[in-house]
Structure 1
Amino acid sequence: MDIGPINVSHPLAYKGSGGVNFGYPEGYTLMDMVPDDVKPLIHPHWSKFPPVNPMWHYLLGVIFIILGILSFFGNGMVIYLFSCKKSLRSPANMFVVNLAFSDFMMMGSQFPMYVWNCFNGGYWALGALSCQIHAFTGAIFGLGSLTTLAAIGYDRYCVIVKAFDGGHISSTKAFFIILLCWAYATAISIWPFFGWNSYIPEGILTSCSFDYISRDWGTRSFGLFLFIMCYCFPLTIIIFVYSQIVGAIRAHEKALREQAKKMNVENLRSNADANKQSAEVRIAKVAVSNVFLWLLTWTPYAAVVMTGLFGDQDSVTPLVSALPGLIAKTASVYNPMMFAISHPKFRLALQEVWPWFCVHEPKDDDSKSTRTESESGK
């Protein structure tokens, strides 16, 4: 039975052998839901799958709205506090604010188009140019956040592991590293505009990204390039620096315990040293948590890309490809909480600027610990 293409995202009422049925006719595909002028943008791979239940479009659209609000609120708060409180303008916090800016812009460039498509037909309805802009901005801001996370780890490594070697990063060096992060993100994201890979609609067709479905060598080579440069390389740096941080703290603690035992005293630290160590241990805990969250956030997307390029493509269904991308964007929500709002100096600033926010962070009156906390990015 041929009912012809219909450009709606809702199940259809059609007359079958058993009477009138409500649903999609047998053989109906995802491409049948797309207008003719949009079809050239979409990879033929998605024509093998039936239409996605409209519930998914609405559900994902609502989830994205919630993520967008939380991301704007959290990252906007960090940017505002940094701009109005001089006490937060340390080299370490330059990386934190750069991360907040990148996450803010990433969500700002992604969720309006995504939500619009979710609630207006369930396909990419904004044209080829908007698709490329959507994918490029998502790539550059996503990679900007990834590289900044590695830079934050490196800064923590310098402060804690290389503290006695004069390893603290100056404001000039921090600014240079931030520029390097954005140059790195741009150098990777720009290639599809020059013919190495392309930006196309993906998954349930409400967002755009790199092509990880085509099997030509150009697409595959770019996919390997992305996997190495955007997943393996940053992950290696993050695991190395944070493992060194944890190892240094454990070794320092062990040495202090042994020395205290020899001197028959309970603790060798002064109040300032105790505060410093407490801050460092707190940083290490946050670091380990961040590595774990980073793996949970980006590994599903990396797995989908590698499967699409080299594995069983039949397993890369519209929903399978859509959900990892959404999971990856949750990083813009938890990053400001992990790296800024949970830190004492940001919380003190938050308490001063917005007393009604119900933050009760005790002030440290020990002047000797001020410099240590400042250098630790607190």
Structure 2
Amino acid sequence: MNTMRSNARPVELQEGFYIPIALDTNNITSLSPFLVPQDHLAGSAIFYGMSFFMFFLFVAGTAINVLTIVCTIQFKKLRSHLNYILVNLAIANLMVSMFGSSTACLSFGNRYFIMGSVACQIEGFAATLGGMVSLWSLSVVAFERWLVICKPVGNFQFKSTHAILGCAITWVFGLAASLPPLFGWSRYIPEGLQCSCGPDWYTTNNKYNNESYVMFLFFFCFGVPFSVIVFCYAQLLFMMKAAAAAQADSASTQKAEKEVTKMVVVMVVGFLVCWMPYASFAVWVVQNRGAPFDLRLASIPSCFSKASTVYNPLIYVFMNKLFRSCMMNLLGLKSGDDEEASSTSSVTQVSSAG
């Protein structure tokens, strides 16, 4: 059976997980996602396909983010204050890849969360923390670039202390979002096809106040960062368009304006692809208690968020000509970006946001 009703009367297992009694079975405890394969939710091909996908995310996400960190250490020209947050983003992505994608790969391969309830708590917390730090890092990237490039407070001198503060804020906010389920405000349980763990957003047990926690995540961890990103990049875009209009005969300025426009669109779309499915689906379930939904579809938002460990570095690092050039050199490959990266400083400065 592939659907469940979120208002179904639950049975609490020894592990602290709730299985809806609406499922037709004489031995309800045998369906525990910590004990047996969840073949009643989907066919084996779906589980194995998801396992392969998670394996790809684990390998690609780990490789790309490790490469980002190593490249920053190796090349002194990348160790600017404005790139601190990109390294912070890579570390957060590594946390999701190491704890989230790897665990989900093993669980999907076995068709249930084979490592048990304690590991579920650890994976849920670590993946949520990494995801929240990654999410807030994207907004800090936007804010830093707006502060430095648009100069809303005049000739502001951006120093290492400001960069470190920006990174620290992402971890404080990340912990503020990921710690509550460990202390009774919501909880971490298997989600979707029961092979990865995350905050409980689909049961109706009032003991954990799941609804209020979901709304907290939606407004504080999605609404606020998204508003910051849209505002800062919109200001950056307006500034570049004004510069392009004032220098209509300058080919370099027109090129810079087009590159910034492309960068802004890609970054905003990337953020929405990463977090919109998770946020919208969780809020829909909270606002439509009792409506049936397919648990296979409930696994999709988690996949999009975990996939961000791969496409976020592609957006925020590989679109940066200087970063891309250094990575090519690190891998022993020649790059045609070197001269362009050094000759178009204004574009490079802006592109360091992506």
Fold in common (TM above 0.5)? yes
Aligned residue in 2 for 1:363: 339
Structure 2 SS opposite 1:175: helix
Structure 2 SS opposite 1:330: helix
Which of the residues 69, 86, 91 maps onto 2:59? 69
Distance 1:40 1:377, change over 3 A: closer
RMSD, matched Cα: 2.9
Q: Which amino acid aligns with 1:182?
A: W
Q: Would you say 1:149 and 2:138 are equivalent positions?
A: yes
Q: Any stretches of 5+ residues in structure 2 without a counterpart?
A: 5-10, 25-39
Structure 2 SS opposite 1:200: strand
Q: Would you say 1:132 and 2:128 are equivalent positions?
A: no
Which of the residues 204, 221, 234 maps onto 2:193? 204
Taking the TM superposition and a 5 Å limit, the aligned residue runs for 1:1-378 are 40-45=15-20, 48=23, 50-120=40-110, 122-162=111-151, 165-167=154-156, 169-215=158-204, 216=206, 218-257=209-248, 266-267=249-250, 274=252, 278-279=255-256, 281-356=258-333, 359-364=335-340, 373=348, 377=352
Aligned residue in 1 for 2:30: none
Structure 2 SS opposite 1:44: strand
| Contact 1:197/1:222, CA 8 A, preserved across alignment | yes
Question: 1:279 Cα shift?
Answer: 4.9
Distance 1:344 1:168, change over 3 A: farther
Question: 1:82 Cα shift?
Answer: 0.2
State how far apart, in whole Å, the 2-side matches of 1:287 and 1:375 are: 10
State how far apart, in whole Å, the 1-side matches of 2:281 and 2:348 are: 41
Larger Rg: 1
TM-score between the two structures when normalised by the length of structure 2? 0.84
Distance 1:364 1:211, change over 3 A: closer
Residues 141-197 of structure 1: CA deviation (Å, up to 9, x unaligned):
000000000011112212321178224522210111100110110011101121111
Distance 1:372 1:40, change over 3 A: closer
| Contact 1:351/1:360, CA 8 A, preserved across alignment | no
TM-score between the two structures when normalised by the length of structure 1? 0.79
Q: Any stretches of 5+ residues in structure 1 without a counterpart?
A: 1-26, 31-35, 258-265
Residues 70-100 of structure 1: CA deviation (Å, up to 9, x unaligned):
1112111111100111010111111111111
Distance 1:52 1:375, change over 3 A: closer
Q: Which amino acid aligns with 1:325?
A: S
Distance 1:313 1:81, change over 3 A: farther
For structure 1, which segment, 208-217 or 337-346, has the greater mean C-alpha deviation from structure 2 after superposition? 208-217
| Contact 2:317/2:352, CA 8 A, preserved across alignment | no
Distance 1:166 1:281, change over 3 A: farther
State how far apart, in whole Å, the 2-side matches of 1:124 and 1:46 are: 20
State how far apart, in whole Å, the 2-side matches of 1:28 and 1:302 are: 22
For structure 1, which segment, 139-148 or 333-342, has the greater mean C-alpha deviation from structure 2 after superposition? 333-342
Aligned residue in 2 for 1:5: none
Distance 1:320 1:99, change over 3 A: same
| Contact 1:213/1:313, CA 8 A, preserved across alignment | no
Question: 1:352 Cα shift?
Answer: 2.6
Residues 8-66 of structure 1: CA deviation (Å, up to 9, x unaligned):
xxxxxxxxxxxxxxxxxxx8999xxxxx9977443223863843111111000001111
Residues 273-328 of structure 1: CA deviation (Å, up to 9, x unaligned):
x47x7556524421221101211221111122112222154433211111111012
| Contact 2:101/2:306, CA 8 A, preserved across alignment | no
Distance 1:162 1:45, change over 3 A: farther
